[in-house]
Structures are given as C-alpha cells and as structure tokens.
Structure 1
C-alpha cells in the first residue's frame, strides 16, 4: 500500500489527478483517434469524469472517495455492458498515456502508471479482439 500512497502523493495528489482525468476526457472528446472510445460514453462526460477521479484517487493510493459514494467499484462488472476489445483497450490506453505526458507527470512515475493502467485495461476486455 505504501507504494501506491507514494504514487498518489508523488504525482501531486488530488489537483494533479483532476488535471490528468480532465485532460484524458478532453482528448477523448477532441481527437479523432479516440472516436470509438468516445462513442462508448454518454454525450455529457461530466459523470464519467467525476467517477474516474473518485476511483483513481483510491486506486493509486489516495483517499478512497469512490466506494463511500458509489459502493464497491466492481470495475469489470460495471463495464460488461460495453464492448471492450483490443481496439477500445488500445484507444483508452493511448488517450491516458497522452494525458500523462501532457500533464507533465515525471516519466518514471508515468511508466508506473502506464503499466498499472495497461494491466487493468487488458483485464477489462470482454471481447476476444
């Protein structure tokens, strides 16, 4: 747990996490390369933004603010209604990796985040390809 707590603090806490998530959703909404990923979301991204901020806080070692508000994350179960194959996983990762870079997160810390995001995003796949 201490590594994850350090990760949350190292990136800059809630302020940097909010910047990261906002950049992620801004890129998703603006960039043609992420259009398939964008299509999986509702027109208004504010709820998605809020939930990802809350979830990532605890996921990277900060305060657990998601569960008290929304219950157990049940991450995979909550995403089962959406077709998530290699294309969707790869677009999500590319969008998040770019957000990490755009937010100026240290490359060593960024690499840790990228590895964790890859493992989780790959686990979320519910389509063979």
Structure 2
C-alpha cells in the first residue's frame, strides 16, 4: 500500500513510500549534492540571502549550515530522518521566525533552488514535483508582508 502525496494528471509521477523523491534523486549523496549546489548558488548570486546565515571567514555560507540543510532535505524527501535524530523536529516556521521572510526573500531562495536543480541536472516529473513542493514550503515560511 502506498501513500500518495497528490492527485496525478496525465503523465505525472506520484511519490509513494516505495518511490520517494529521495530515491528518485539517488539517495543521500545526491541529496547532499543538491544542498551544496543550493548554497553554492546562494553564495554566487544572492548575497543578501547568504548574509542571513552563519558565514565562514571567506564569506560563504558555513559548512554546518550546509550539512544541516542536507540532513533536513534527506528526511523531507523521504529518506532517513537523520535531521530529526540530531536536531529534533524541524519546526520550519519557528526556526525561521527570527528572519523577516517576504516575497523577495522567498523568490531569492527559490532562484537558488532552481539553480541547484539545474546544476544537478534534475528534469522531468521529479523536477516538477520538487518545484511545486519547494514553492509551497518557501511561501509557507513568509512571515512579512511584501
């Protein structure tokens, strides 16, 4: 028995417990590489967004932040729950509550994620699914008008 996350249209992939986004991406190393590509894009193209994170002396988002996000993505995409084991429940709105997230920051975050998906060569149904889910989550985190 599988748990569907959304209603399919004609050629849409339907994630299930047997066929998760985590599996489609290629497992832990592939998801960590997506997280790394995300922060590489942020460092290169969205300095205002990068400055909201802990930075290394070279001005890039810290290794710890990158690792935490990789662990979060692994679990969020249907893989092992390493993030929860190490850091507890993500509580996304609470953890981001100290940062004013308006539509401009949301859009900057999404631009970085789209660049990361491009860099990792994600296409097709899994790409469409992730774009939708990342968009929903980024919009959910908005806590400021604009």
Q: How does 1:81-92 map to 2 (within 5 A)?
A: 81-92=98-109
For 1:4 and 1:19, the matched residues in 2 are separated by 23
1:4–1:21 Cα change, 3 Å: farther
TM norm structure 2: 0.82
Task: Report whether the alignment pairs 1:38 with 2:55.
Answer: no
Match of 1:66, SS state, is helix
Deviations 1:26-64 (A, max 9, x none): 111122xx1221121111321111111111111111111
Partners of 2:101 and 2:142 within 8 A in 1: yes
Partners of 1:101 and 1:110 within 8 A in 2: no
- Flag structure 2 segments of 5+ consecutive residues without an equivalent: 5-14, 57-61
Q: Name which one, 1 or 2, has greater alpha-carbon Rg.
A: 2
TM norm structure 1: 0.92
- Flag structure 1 segments of 5+ consecutive residues without an equivalent: none
Name segments (4+ residues, structure 1) moved above 3 Å: none
Match of 1:91, SS state, is helix
Q: How does 1:22-101 map to 2 (within 5 A)?
A: 22-31=36-45, 34-44=46-56, 45-101=62-118
Q: 1:106 aligns with which of 123, 132, 140?
A: 123
Please name the residue that 1:116 is paired with: 133
Q: Normalized per residue, which structure has more helix? A: 1
Please name the residue that 2:11 is paired with: none
